[in-house]
Structure 1
Amino acid sequence: MNNHHREIHIAKRIFDILVATCVLALLLPLYPIMALLIKTSSKGPVFYKQLRVGKCTPETITFFEIIKFRTMYQNAEEKSGAVWAVDNDPRITPIGRLMRKTRLDEIPQLINVLKGEMSLIGPRPERPSFYKKLNQAIPFFVERTYGVSPGITGLAQVNQGYDTCIDDVRRKVGFDHSYALAMTSFYHWIAIDFTILVKTVTVIFNGRGR
């Protein structure tokens, strides 16, 4: 990584910490309400943790546990195994459906951001169970995360939404590589991050999540 790229990554990290801290503090009154709704609507914990693939290099792959508000019934994948979400997914609880539409279930990921495991903006962190299959099926899939932390939101997420099949992921790879290229200058980075944040807010208020 040259000095110019390093400066951008440092600035991006500072931005992540400031925004994550402010949003966590701002939404603090919502946490007990959401916890109560989750606990009274279905059995199970308030939070859901799942292993995901983090930042990668040509030599190493990192893993971390992503944190979300639980939106599915407990042990929802016990019989099916790891599968993509679908329309009217029966695994999702009623309150979970609302949280997914507004992306409120992703608030706890800000803790992952503060820990340095994620960024506010970046490629979607994939599940290890999907990772090998996707890497074999999609050219340059792994390379999309080289030197870039996975994000809560991103260029691919706001332009396409949740993945439902391998073709969805294939289309997202182009967005992820475009974002990585934008990290080559401060102007491009600031412009694309601002655009993504505005689109993310639009998705939240329009209830376009799933």
Structure 2
Amino acid sequence: MSEHTGLSQTQAALKRGFDLLGAAAGLLLTFWLIALAWVLATIDTRQNGFFVQERVGRHGRVFRVVKIRTMRPSRAHTTTVTTGHDPRITPLGRFFRRAKIDELPQLFNVLMGQMSFVGPRPDVPGFADALEGEDRLILSVRPGITGPATLKYRDEESLLDSVEDPEAYNREVIFPDKVRINREYVQQWSLGKDLGYIWRTVFR
């Protein structure tokens, strides 16, 4: 694999094959839980229990990511940066976030080829699509549900709680570090490492 061109065709096919099998099996096992969470989130937030948002995907193409809704709307809070004490998050939503139940609908995104199990987290427009030079290597792979940067910043919301300006800290410190980690992920990709990231995500 070239350091600058991303995964080879064989590696990409292996990764996609694993995603297809894993997403199909995951949906068969968790469809009932996704449906239950959707019903509870709809009651809890008084909105559609599925939260759909535009994110930047492979090759910079925008797609719609699906998650379980965990927040109620607030006119006083419009930022896309979420801290641990964000008043928009409901008590049930906090549970869904801690248990990662809110992430389960993304299995549909994986099945449709918009996401992968492992990769850079999909950003809202204005971050990943603004990458330049070698950093755009990150866009050669599908964004993931989990990955090395996601694991490092699994307590990102608590970290943002501790700084004076969460948006500036995210933009100037966290995002550049995630770019570095994700670039190394693509350059050093292996299926074994992907399995390790999934294991650490599920059994942390």
On whether the aligned pair clears a TM of 0.5, the verdict is: yes
Residue 90 of structure 2 is aligned to residue 93 of structure 1: yes
Indicate the residue corresponding to 1:170 in structure 2: 176
Residue 103 of structure 1 and its aligned partner are, at CA, apart by 1.1
> 33, 42, 47: which is aligned to 1:44?
47
* Identical residues among aligned pairs (%): 32
CA contact (8 A) 1:144 1:173 kept: no
Residue 110 of structure 2 is aligned to residue 105 of structure 1: no
Amino acid at match of 1:111: F
Residue 155 of structure 2 is aligned to residue 154 of structure 1: no
| Distance in 1 between residues matched to 2:134 and 2:9, nearest whole Å | 23
| Distance in 2 between residues matched to 1:197 and 1:107, nearest whole Å | 14
Amino acid at match of 1:7: T
Taking a change above 3 Å as real, the CA distance of residues 171 and 119 of structure 1, as seen in their structure-2 partners, is same
Indicate the residue corresponding to 2:202 in structure 1: 201
Indicate the residue corresponding to 1:30 in structure 2: 33
Indicate the residue corresponding to 1:67 in structure 2: 66
Residue 160 of structure 1 and its aligned partner are, at CA, apart by 1.9
> 136, 154, 159: which is aligned to 1:143?
136
| Distance in 1 between residues matched to 2:19 and 2:27, nearest whole Å | 12
Unaligned runs of 5+ in 1: 184-188, 204-210
Residue 162 of structure 2 is aligned to residue 179 of structure 1: no
| Distance in 2 between residues matched to 1:21 and 1:86, nearest whole Å | 33
Report the count of equivalent residues.
187
| Distance in 2 between residues matched to 1:8 and 1:89, nearest whole Å | 40
| Distance in 2 between residues matched to 1:122 and 1:107, nearest whole Å | 16
Amino acid at match of 2:174: D
Residue 129 of structure 1 and its aligned partner are, at CA, apart by 4.0
Residue 83 of structure 1 and its aligned partner are, at CA, apart by 2.8
| Distance in 1 between residues matched to 2:38 and 2:152, nearest whole Å | 30
Taking a change above 3 Å as real, the CA distance of residues 199 and 48 of structure 1, as seen in their structure-2 partners, is same
CA contact (8 A) 1:16 1:120 kept: yes
Taking a change above 3 Å as real, the CA distance of residues 192 and 70 of structure 1, as seen in their structure-2 partners, is same
Q: TM-score, normalised by structure 1?
A: 0.80
Indicate the residue corresponding to 1:206 in structure 2: none
| Distance in 2 between residues matched to 1:125 and 1:68, nearest whole Å | 12
Amino acid at match of 1:97: R
Q: TM-score, normalised by structure 2?
A: 0.82
CA contact (8 A) 2:137 2:183 kept: yes
| Distance in 2 between residues matched to 1:169 and 1:31, nearest whole Å | 30
| Distance in 2 between residues matched to 1:107 and 1:28, nearest whole Å | 9
CA contact (8 A) 2:40 2:49 kept: no
Question: CA RMSD, aligned part only?
Answer: 2.3
